Amino acid sequence: MGTGRPLRFMLRIGQSDVFPGSWRRMGNIMKEIFIEEEGSITREQLENVMREMAEQFPEAKKVLIVPPDFTRCYSCAGEITQILYRVFAGRGALVHVIPALGTHMPMSAEEKEAFFAGVVPEENFLVHHWQTDTVKLGTVPSEVVSEISGGLFRQEIDVEVNHLLVDGGYDLVLSVGQVVPHEVVGMANYSKNLFVGLGGRSMINESHMLSAVCGMEKALGVVDSPARKVYDYAQKHYIDGKIPVVFLQTVTVQEDGGTVLKGCFIGESRKPFERAAVLSQKLNIVHVGRRAKKVVTYLDPKELKTTWVGNKGIYRTRMIVEDGGELVVMAPGVIAFGENEEMDRMTRRFGYKGRDYILKLYEEGAFEGRVMSAAHLIQGSSDGRFTITYATRPENLSKEEVESVGFRWADYEETARRYPPETLKDGWHTGEDGEEFYYVGTPAAGLWKAD
């Protein structure tokens, strides 16, 4: 964050009866705060906004902050969590931080230090275990799911969240995250932070499969995607009026090798998400005039260590790859396929071998209780439209392993000499041999579409 222009506030008075529990006891009427900057929101501005938000809840004695994990390191959510912790702990509140891991691996000590700068004591961190830590709030009925999917997906979906949201005794839950184009939900964040980030097997499995069946490319960058409609139903029926959640949502861009905070949208309703989504669609979707025969993308080794999350290099760039072209994913830090042993095993067993192949296996019951794996494998395949080459360090993930799941393989060091990530800028390039390619250095930060 750098020097910004004067802070601009746009406030909306929320309904006084939104949260009849802790909310009403604290006597607050939530004022939603929207900030947008043409330049950059400064740290001082951000601290002022967080204090203004916190002042609306003076009686909050026990607070839960739900930031993303390190795979969203470009979100500015780490800085916001630091500020929130200092503000609430500074006035005597007990503050816990539980990263919204979903099925991702827990944050390492190094990742916590890089993201939260040592502000949050280790004993104040909690870990979400998606397989064991959830409670069922209700369901999204099969008829609702069928209507949302146009009849393509008809299963009832259990709405599960970490039990601490229900029985943790928190006066205030602060859900922090980034709104950015996303392969499953269209535009990330808002209620997805709870239903997936702190969700359980059914919601994660079924909502991901719903998105895959309906078509990922139809959802990318879209606000009201099928998965979003499922989360909206769950939010309306099982969160609103029952759990005291405030959403703090950011919009960022990558400029000159750093993260610049362009917007921050705070409130309990869907409105801040909608405003953030409009800004993100403007700033985070790159419109490329034509498709490229070759696209090269780079996965930061500190951020992305598995194809499960590293395939953002595929999702976010696939719409600019020509039919018959090649996508090269430079993955120096990728050491596995799944974020956990269960999903790694499923990927190794079935591979990224196309929609029809995976759907046939799905219909035969091969993914019982692990439908998210089927969805992931569908989304990670080009369905034969173009080839995908993963460039890894062989000591991390070998040629045999990469090719066994349906990708081509290249040696990372050799590939990096041809496409040096430390010097390439996003956009069109022509190599010394006359090869034309399009380069994307941080695929998780946006979406690239051919006009």
Express each pLDDT in 356-389 by its tens digit: 999 999 999 999 888 989 999 999 999 999 999 9
* 15 lies in some domain: yes
Query: Do 268 and 297 belong together in one domain?
Result: no
Strand-strand pairing, 94-97 and 62-66: parallel
Check whether 439 has a pLDDT greater than 80. yes
Query: Do 68 and 207 belong together in one domain?
Result: yes
Which candidate, 235, 238, 138, places its Cα nearest to that of 185? Answer: 235
Task: Give 17 or 337, the one with higher predicted confidence.
Answer: 337
Q: Label residue 397 exposed, middle or buried (CB < 10 Å: 0-12, 13-18, 19+).
A: buried
Check whether 22 has a pLDDT greater than 90. no
Place of tokens 């946006």: 446
* 343 lies in some domain: yes
Question: For the chain, how many structural domains are there in total?
Answer: 2
Per residue in 221-243, pLDDT (tens digit) is 999 999 999 999 999 999 999 99
Mean pLDDT, residues 63-78 taken together = 91
Identity at 135, one-letter amino acid code: V
- pLDDT at position 105 is 85
Lowest mean pLDDT: which of 2-11, 97-106, 197-206, 269-278?
2-11
Query: Do 99 and 245 belong together in one domain?
Result: yes
Check whether 402 has a pLDDT greater than 80. yes
Query: Do 306 and 225 belong together in one domain?
Result: no
Residue 26 sits in which domain range?
10-285
- pLDDT at position 28 is 53
- pLDDT at position 369 is 82
Q: Among 285, 304, 330, where does a domain finish? A: 285
* 148 lies in some domain: yes
Query: Do 334 and 355 belong together in one domain?
Result: yes
Query: Do 372 and 257 belong together in one domain?
Result: no
Q: How far apart are CA 427 and CA 441, in angstroms?
A: 9
CATH number at residue 115: 3.40.50.11440
Q: Among 285, 310, 340, where does a domain finish? A: 285
Query: Do 322 and 247 belong together in one domain?
Result: no
Strand-strand pairing, 94-97 and 387-392: unpaired
Q: Label residue 229 exposed, middle or buried (CB < 10 Å: 0-12, 13-18, 19+).
A: buried
pLDDT band for position 8 (cuts 50, 70, 90): very low
Q: How far apart are CA 281 and CA 50, in angstroms?
A: 25
* 4 lies in some domain: no
Per residue in 113-137, pLDDT (tens digit) is 999 999 999 999 999 999 999 999 9
Q: How far apart are CA 344 and CA 334, in angstroms?
A: 12
Q: Among 285, 319, 343, where does a domain finish? A: 285
Q: pTM for this one?
A: 0.87
Who's near 56: CB < 8 A, 6+ residues apart?
28, 30, 31
- pLDDT at position 18 is 34
Mean pLDDT, residues 37-52 taken together = 95
CATH number at residue 446: 3.90.226.30
Place of tokens 């993100």: 280
- pLDDT at position 436 is 98
Q: Are 160 and 135 in contact (CB under 8 A)?
A: yes
pLDDT band for position 74 (cuts 50, 70, 90): confident
Q: How far apart are CA 264 and CA 250, in angstroms?
A: 5
